[in-house]
Amino acid sequence: MLYSQSQPTIIDSPSTAKNVRAMASYQFDFAQHAKSWLRYLGRHQAAVFVEEDDGSSWSSNNGLNNTTPLSNVGAAANITNAANGIQYRYYYDRSSR
């Protein structure tokens, strides 16, 4: 008999991100704008870049588990034991067309 099996999971992944960027540049050429001895100071350039990043992230991939196992002793009593994971099995019957 043909079947498929899957293990469901609960995926929680809250995430927030906020990015702020600013850039400014300035250029001044003393040779073109000054008539006195200041023209010998030449060309000057300045640039500023500011970035603010306020990001937080959280991710989880939790499997579904049987929280009331039949056994109350040993490893099988632990709800995180793989034997207590919930599995879905779907059977396919060719004769039921």
Residue 85: how many CA atoms within 13 Å on its side-chain side? 14
pTM above threshold 0.85? no
Dist. CA 95–CA 75, nearest whole Å: 41
Query: Averaged in consecutive runs of 10 residues, what is the pLDDT profile of the chain (97 residues)?
Result: 81 85 94 88 94 84 76 77 82 76
The reported pLDDT for the residue numbered 27 is 95
DSSP at 65: B
| pLDDT digits 0-9 by tens, 2-14 | 889 888 777 778 8
The reported pLDDT for the residue numbered 97 is 61
